[in-house]
Structures are given as structure tokens and as C-alpha cells.
Amino acid sequence: MTVENPLKNWSLRLEDIEFIGEGLQRPECIVAQPDGTLWVADARGGVMKIDTDRNQSLIAPDVVAAHGDFNFEDRYVKAQGASLPNGLALTDEGDFIICNWGLDRIEKLYKATGKVEVLYDQLNGRPLGKTNFPLIDSKGRIWFTVTTTMQPWTESINSDELDGYIGVIDEQGIRIAADHIGGANEIRFDDQEEWLYVVESNVRHISRFRVAEDGTLSDREIYGPEELDGFPDGFAFDVYGNLWVTLVMVDKLIAITPEQDVITILDDSNPSANALLNQHYRSKTLTPEIMQASRGTLAPWMASITFGGKDLKTVYLGSLQGTKIPYFRSPVAGQALRHWKTP
């Protein structure tokens, strides 16, 4: 018997969206735990804990915990010289692997002390570039993405050069697993870790690679449309096989079905601003000012999606310019990630 896609006859109503968190700074990445605790990347240089009673506590080194209000132009667009945690991965011990966008490095943040250990800031004798997102597989290997090596990073959007890459860290050290990626962003595995999916933000599509036992990647192919209606940023699978994707700047949430069709779940965009954004994208004349104009109000510059709640049916939306986190209930559970399965 064929089971119908749970998203086909479901629609999200604005009145069903609630919010959690307050005064957050650039809550780009969210990690949810089964007990309801949320861990959120924070521009003050660490991770904000939101407990089950909605109390907030910042875990960060003292030297960076004193950062003031988040300045978008200096801290994100220029993004040089100051700590700016981006993607997070939770280790078996409860600590965090962080891709630090501001310092171009991969770090480990110890939850108990707030101490930061720099794991890598170079590869083959050269700076890593804009580290974006880490992911730990079932073998304990750390996979990560670098969006670009250009400074400022915004130049990569208007460039024909595809200098993003996927790297991996294992017992042999650090290496590049796949390169020539157009703005490498979030990465996710399927349930069997047979395929590694990557967001290519700058060329506006999702790609995937077949994963070998030794960590080599092959058989690269585009998954879903060759070009999406916006810049994909974060994504997550549900148990049916839909791939939920955030489109940053135009602030849409879509899903790519197993048949690789697209369903729009949430549209918080500005149509006229979107048209201008697309025009400049095609002419390669995008500026930070034009990119800013399309943002919505719910999760400004919608950047990530996380499934949580005990049944994995609560959806949290991360953003680059928000101060709180929108959430709502889904008709289908999300994929249980590694940290969800690990005691």
C-alpha cells in the first residue's frame, strides 16, 4: 500500500507559529535534544542554552562573551577578526564542534567550562576559509564545509569561481573530500549514510555524493531542481524522505519530495524585492544592501531548520538576523540525527 506524502494535503498557518528565545544574536544553527533543550549558535562567541523552562544561559569564553549588540555589516558581511559561531555539532560527550565563520576555523567548545579549543585553522598550509557547518558521522568522523576562501565572502556570490569544499577530519588528520562547490553550506546524510547531501548556496541547488567506507566521495549529482527559487541555506530530512530547505534572503521554507518535486511550506518573502534580488543575481551585481531588502519578519534571513520535540515533530527555524526562534508543529517527524540516538 502506497503511503501518501504527509505534506501533500497539509498547510502551515501563520497563527500556528510560536516563538522561543529572546535577545538572541544571529541564531543561525539550532541543536535540539529529546528533553526539549535547545542549543543555539550565538554571535557573542559561543552557544546559547535554552532549557525546558525557557531559561537562557550563554556558554562562551569570557574574552568573547562581552561582545555587544550584533552589527550585521561589520560582524557578518566583513566577518573578520571576531568570533562568529555558525554551524554546530553535538559530540557524544555533550560538547560542541563549531565552524567559526568569523575566525575561519573549526573549534571545540567545552560545555562545562566554556573553554574553546582550536582544532584546525589551516589545511595543507593554507587558511581554511569561511568554515560553515560541521557534521559527525556514525564512525566519529567530523565532516565540514567551507563556503568560500574569498574575502569578503560576499564576492563569491557574484563570481564564477566555485571555491567551496567539503572536508573531513578523521584519525589521519584533515583533508578535502570534495571541491569545486558553489557556496558549500549545510551537509546531511541519509539514514544509512550512503549519500552525503550538500547545499550549494551560490548556484542555488542541492547536490549529493555517494559515500565509501573510507570516506571518499563519488558519483556527484544534483538532487532536486537544477536551480531553486532562492539561495538554499539549511536543510533537514523528515522520515518520509522529504528534504526541507530554507531559502535565505527570500525567507521561504520549501520541501523537495522523494520524487524531487518542490512543495512550498512557508513564504515570508517580498515579491518585488525577490525580483530585484534575482535580477542582480543573474547579472552578478548583488550587493549586501540588495540582499538585505528581501528579508521577511518571522526569521529574517531564514538560515536553518531543526526538528525537535519528543516526537521530532516540532520544527525550529534559525536565522541570521533574528533575535528569537519561530517554531511550529509538523505532520511528519524529522530524521533522528546522531546525537538524538546517542545517550
> Is residue 238 assigned to a domain?
yes
DSSP track, 277-328: HHHHHHHT---HHHHHHT--SSSSSEEEEEEESTTS-EEEEEESS-SSEEEE
Asked whether residue 120 is domain-assigned, the answer is: yes
Question: 70: which 3 cell numbers?
Answer: 550584533
- For residue 305, give the nearest of 291, 317, 292 by alpha carbon: 317
Q: What angle do CA 253, 40, 310 make, to 5 degrees?
A: 75
Residue 256: per-residue pLDDT: 98
Which secondary structure element, helix H or strand E, spans residue 338, and what is its range?
A: helix 338-341
Joined grid coordinates for residue 92: 557524544
Tally Cβ neighbours within 10 Å of residue 285.
10
pLDDT at position 65, please? 46
- Residue 6 inside a domain? The answer is no
Residue with cell 550585521: 72
pLDDT value for 66:
45
How much is the pTM? 0.95
SS3 per residue for 136-174: ECCCCCEEEEECCCCCCHHHHHHCCCCCEEEEEEECCEE
User: Per-residue DSSP letters for 162-231?
Assistant: --EEEEEEETTEEEEEEEEESSEEEEEE-TTSSEEEEEEGGGTEEEEEEE-TTS-EEEEEEES-SS-SSE
Predicted pLDDT at 292: 81
Q: How confident is the model at residue 154, as a pLDDT?
A: 84
Q: How many domains, in total, are found in the chain?
A: 1
Q: What domain range is 126 assigned to? A: 16-338
Instruction: Specify which residues 144 forms β-bridges with.
Output: 134, 167
Q: Is 113 left (phi over 0), alpha (psi -120 to 50) or beta?
A: alpha
Residue 158 lies in a domain: yes
237 occurs within a structural domain: yes
194 class by beta-carbon count within 10 Å (0-12 exposed, 13-18 middle, 19+ buried): exposed
- For the chain, 343 residues long, the average pLDDT of each consecutive 10-residue run is 89 96 96 96 95 96 56 59 92 96 96 96 95 97 96 88 96 96 98 97 98 96 97 98 97 97 95 91 90 87 97 97 97 93 59
Give the pLDDT confidence score for residue 326 in this predicted structure: 98
On whether residue 343 sits in a domain, the answer given is no
Q: Which domain CATH number covers 27?
A: 2.120.10.30
State residue 281's pLDDT score: 94
**Does residue 112 lie in a domain region?**
yes
* Beta partners for residue 282, in sequence order: none
Is the residue at 306 inside a domain? yes
